[in-house]
Amino acid sequence: AQKVTQAQTEISVVEKEDVTLDCVYETRDTTYYLFWYKQPPSGELVFLIRRNSFDEQNEISGRYSWNFQKSTSSFNFTITASQVVDSAVYFCALTSGTDKLIFGTGTRLQVFP
């Protein structure tokens, strides 16, 4: 069975702090894809990144970076120099090509000025 675990329910930081959101996944498939989505208070899901199981290179996009480690089945997300606008719920998700996305329970990030 596939599973995504986001152990951090809620994180609070002060602006300009760095913050890392953890994601641990379980799957028996050798080919799979991992995602991160941002859900601001308005509710829509904003796609942030997709990573396939054969690409373990870390990725950086502006203040966002992702660390994918197959050895620990983790796909962690770091926001550098956080801003108030980063406040949202962040979801990690997994699919193995069956087209179903399996979501974690989400991490609520609050960034205070």
Tell me the torsion sign for CA atoms 78, 39, 50, 62: negative
50 binds another protein (CB under 8 A): yes
Distance CA 21, CA 109 (A): 9
Nearer to another protein, 44 or 113 (CB): 44
Q: Which is nearer to another protein, 13 or 108 (CB)?
A: 108
Rounded to the nearest whole angstrom, what is the least distance from the CB of residue 50 to another protein in the complex? 5
CA distances from 71 to 22, 75, 84 (A): 15, 11, 33
Site for another protein in 16-45 (CB under 8 A): 33, 35, 37, 42-45
Residue 90 contacts another protein per CB under 8 A? no
Give residues in contact with another protein (CB under 8 A): 33, 35, 37, 42-45, 47, 50, 52, 91, 95, 97, 99-101, 103-106, 108
